[in-house]
A and B are shown apart, each in its own frame.
Chain A
């Protein structure tokens, strides 16, 4: 569900960006600004910059290499063209800064310092750090989006999932995703605590939901009934517990974590069978009770 909706959104956005014309995702050009008070902010963080920040890093990393080259070629024409895409320009800069900041995270953690160091590396004044609505959270969210995008790329590039049964596919996908976090594992508890912060929970929850949805989708699940929620919740549980287990795992190449993961996946699938059996039992009991109830009611009415 998420993936198809997201695909439509990105597809539409990339079309719009490439044509270079009206950008329906962004706000109108400066000429129309007097009629709509688009500049105003309140003291509470505005939700709009957060939303554009989320899809755009994956946008800019995957489909928009043509866009970035086109904006850089028009930059030579002077400030006039730049003003037509003001938001696009600064968001790419932000994405570049965040990408560079990731390299410093291992040293100084998920903090403003990493972002300042990243900005200096890219050649941009560290004052840009003030433009991220929730600073460190922006860095963590960027990383999560980046990993999700890499996972999607791995899936699309035809990882050999066809030869595996669903439970093994899920285990493999979770393993691929968690391995992306392996370099940052010493600072990952900090990232988790940042994600758990009340201000950041909505975004981190949404990112995890998208991740879990992606994994199920790739494992071949097409269901759209109540099962959908149960499956996502169960997988979310497996993913989180494995993630936390990994934090204290010191075995070479996280071997213990993968064993733990396999066990959890097996449990979940056993649970699924158990739930199915429970469902059949409930149906049978219901049917039995139904007929006896019917008989009773008809006898009562006959009287």
Chain B
């Protein structure tokens, strides 16, 4: 079902993101990538990253490091970073590839667009330096399986980062947020994409998502160490992070 939700949403996905979050989602993704601390030669999976927002930011960060004057070329061959943008929905990937071409990254050797199921990835064990999933984990049917797969493909020392809409813990903001979610969002969804139901599904899936602490302990149970989360806007969005060690 979740695959088909994004069929109808894919084309207007970015527009809806901008409207629903008043453009703030860009800042949240910036924060996610700065926490990731990308480095040249990195191998990274951006899961559920369909339209490529996070992947483009990672590439930009790496290019910025490489162009810094103090940067010394490594003794070993300077490896190309490899960023795999994975999504279960081919339409989202299609939109992402188009955006890449528009940014001039169409021929970039570092970007790969793959159709993957988060619950069973086709990558080998211990092969990735980083794994991010932005606004995607709540759509996965079996969250633990996706987390276990993330754990499997990460190298020792690899970083897991999850950006997600979460529970608001501060009372006043919570009321305002609820009001906004249940009245404004589906209406705007209907107006912009003509599909009210998908956005209703979205709001409900946010409410069903476990609270920050519970999610953090699920991540830790899978095996990640030094698990922590950072609340943004009082909990509207949270970034969970863990390492495979």
Is B217's CB under 8 angstroms from A127's CB? no
Q: A30-B220, A34-B213 are in contact. Are A87 and B39 (CB under 8 A)?
A: no
User: In the complex, A275→B8 CA distance in Å?
Assistant: 84
Is B157's CB under 8 angstroms from A30's CB? no
Closest 8 CB pairs of A and B: A124-B157, A125-B157, A127-B159, A130-B37, A128-B157, A125-B155, A39-B216, A90-B225
> CB of B71 within 8 A of chain A?
yes
> CB of B19 within 8 A of chain A?
no
Q: A79-B223, A127-B130 are in contact. Are A39 and B212 (CB under 8 A)?
A: yes
Q: Which of B159, B226, B229, B230 has the most CB of A within 10 A?
A: B226
Is A113's CB under 8 angstroms from B129's CB? no
Tell me whether chain A's interface is mostly helix, strand or loop, or mixed: helix
User: In the complex, A33→B37 CA distance in Å?
Assistant: 28
For residue A129, which residues in chain B have a CB less than 8 angstroms away from its CB?
37, 39
Q: A89-B225, A130-B35 are in contact. Are A125 and B154 (CB under 8 A)?
A: yes
Interface string of A94-131 (1 = CB under 8 A from B): 00010000000001100111001101000111111111
User: In the complex, A125→B129 CA distance in Å?
Assistant: 6
For residue B243, which residues in chain A have a CB less than 8 angstroms away from its CB?
90, 127-128, 131
Shortest CB-to-CB span from A92 to chain B, Å, is 9
For residue B158, which residues in chain A have a CB less than 8 angstroms away from its CB?
125, 127
Q: A41-B228, A42-B230, A93-B157 are in contact. Are A127 and B216 (CB under 8 A)?
A: no
For residue A82, which residues in chain B have a CB less than 8 angstroms away from its CB?
223
Q: A39-B212, A86-B220 are in contact. Are A130 and B72 (CB under 8 A)?
A: no
Is A90's CB under 8 angstroms from B245's CB? yes
> CB of A43 within 8 A of chain B?
yes
User: In the complex, A86→B242 CA distance in Å?
Assistant: 11
Q: A33-B217, A128-B245, A130-B36 are in contact. Are A87 and B156 (CB under 8 A)?
A: no
Residue of B nearest to A117 (CB): B74
Shortest CB-to-CB span from A113 to chain B, Å, is 6
Contact size range, A:
35 or more
Within 8 A of B (CB), among A37-90: 37, 39-43, 79, 82-83, 86-87, 89-90
Q: Which of B129, B214, B225 has the most CB of A within 10 A?
A: B225
Residue of B nearest to A124 (CB): B157
Residue of B nearest to A49 (CB): B226
Is B42's CB under 8 angstroms from A40's CB? no
Is A131's CB under 8 angstroms from B156's CB? no
For residue B154, which residues in chain A have a CB less than 8 angstroms away from its CB?
125
Q: Which of A82, A83, A131 has the most CB of B within 10 A?
A: A131
Is A126's CB under 8 angstroms from B39's CB? yes
12 A–B pairs (Cβ distance < 8 Å), ordered by A: A33-B217, A37-B212, A39-B212, A39-B213, A83-B221, A83-B223, A111-B70, A117-B74, A124-B155, A127-B42, A127-B159, A128-B243
